[in-house]
Structure 1
Amino acid sequence: MNLDPLFQPLQLGELTLPNRVLMPPMTRSRAAQPGDVPTALMAEYYAQRASAGLIVSEGTWIAPLGKGYARTPGIHTQAQIDGWRLVTDAVHAAGGRIFAQLWHVGRLSHSSLLDGQPPVSSTARQAEGVNVFIDNADGTPGFVQASKPRALDQAEIAQIVEQYRQAARNAMAAGFDGVELHAANGYLVNQFLDSGANDRTDRYGGSLPNRLRFLDEVTQALVDGTGAAQRVGVRLAPLTTLNGCVDADPVTTYTAAAKRLGELAIGYLHIAEADWDDAPDMPVDFKQQLRAVFPGVLVYAGKYTGERARQALSEGWADLVGFGRPFVANPDLPQRLRVNAPLAEHERATLFGGDARGLTDYPLMA
């Protein structure tokens, strides 16, 4: 019997995933205005892709100061929770499983998105050359340089940990099967973790244990908020330098982070690899180091093809593989991967903002 590794079931806590194809979080900026509320159109979009072994929602901000891009959904108000319930009900009715990606962007925001306030971060250091998506004064979308942040004090850090805890409770109330912490790509948790983005001298900066502290506290809050460690995943981007976050010794830092997350017994660790055209490959020996210290489910995402995904699964350092952009234009991606069918190409101009065009109008395979 030919057992395709992509289509073997996998146990994730109480969930049985029917395949190893994960739909990773992808910002699409189509939340209803005002209020950044998930919509029936978003529910249709996710339900179309319910054949994934697991869906992780687009980044979903946990509190008003956590928002960094226009028209992105929150999970802070009752209207937002109710909107997400439309999504989770639709996915479950279609036979799928879905986690909410919980997001605080930290310094990667603009004051126009924050009622005129500056963004917050581990330090007051600006992410130079980093643009964020806003609505211009005339109502048209555009990209602008992220605003200069202010450094959080320790009391505010504790408040944000509580915001994560409440966001996890809100996600469960909205019907999600679990939550994923966005601790990658230069956002707030990453701003504490990487040495080049954190020059604090208190208990949240300096030494590696101090830089790991915020990740540790937030993850424990999510475990508490969801009621089970297996309902929590964490996304890290160890060797990328997105949005100005750089670490002096990423192998040591991220191996320690993975070890600690394993001790917390979370459900999965999601590793985001660099996915731009000339990006370097993440060394397999580093992936094997992560496997050695993290006993849970390991997810990798970043320009994977069906062939590369099968190899990763067969070699044992991955348990699930994320396919980002291919899921945009191929709602039936798992079936296409199963039969090695051609993949449709997405329309770049419709990725951020807009209506059903480029969101729910991609056809199924003939």
Structure 2
Amino acid sequence: LEAIEKASKKGGLDFIDLSLLTDGLSAEREQKITIDAAYRYLATPKRRFIVADVPGHEQYTRNMATGASLANLAIIMVDAQKGLLPQSKRHLFISSLLGVRHVLVAINKMDLANYDQNVFEKIKDDFSAFLAKLNIPDIAFIPVSSLKGDMIVERSANMPWYQGATALNYLESVEIANDINLLDFRMPVQLVIRPDQNFRGYAGRIEGGTIRVGERVKILPSGHITRIESILIDGKKQSYAFSPQNVILALHDEVDASRGDMIVRENNLPEIGNKFETTVCWMKEEPLLEHKRFILKQTTRTCRCFVDKILYKIDTDSLHRQDCSALNQN
């Protein structure tokens, strides 16, 4: 904080600019905007957090998508004087596309709006109408002033009309455990562990479901069936493992499995095919064209693919589908 305080004074500010905690690039500090995704770690007595600070400017949307791809929860910062903007809609749509199930809409700069409840309610109504079209099950609205500290950690005497949680209260109490798929066991093989002739293990991150010692599993794509002989987590034997733990699985039979294969429960198989539809967020300056070839990476496996047809693009402002033959960046 001492370094940030000095940098704030050097920039002619009479307050501590906390944006400098995450805006570390010289270009970010000069232009006073966020360009790249920055990750910071913090903890409270109730929960540990990894904060991904991502840019709001349209030019850097791909950096926002990169940060959101790993998030359990998205905080959408809204200027109380400007309300719902196209870029806020874009970020909400991308969050929904990436499977973010919890969104906190923080209506900021309430001090500049004289802490007016009507301003808060109008923005909340505008956002609610747009969010009704998206698949985001948990949405919260909190009026805040990040500069003054209103409703960030402590309750605010300036907004007695708001009786909900503070931003920190919400972040500490939001339930994310139920977001994990504990039904469909999927473990892509990251590495084969063979320290000696007496042990062969398959290391990887459990992407979904649970597994126990003794359960029957199938190796894909070969189709070999075996059962779990042992489970190692941090070098210790366990009888049970679940997503998203990193584990080493030892199998009862000496089956042929390597990096890129997937271990699944015998009677719970993923859908298998060589043609599928997907929604993409295009990040490259060169447009995406039909019949163009790519390398597709799914967990630890890669294969060649090509785009057969572009069905439509989505206007993130209206969410309407539009015919097109190419997808451009942003």
TM-score computed with the length of structure 1 as normaliser = 0.29
Structure (1 or 2) with the greater strand fraction: 2
Largest Rg, 1 or 2 = 2
Return the TM-score normalized by structure 2. Answer: 0.32
Quick check: which one's helix share is greater? 1
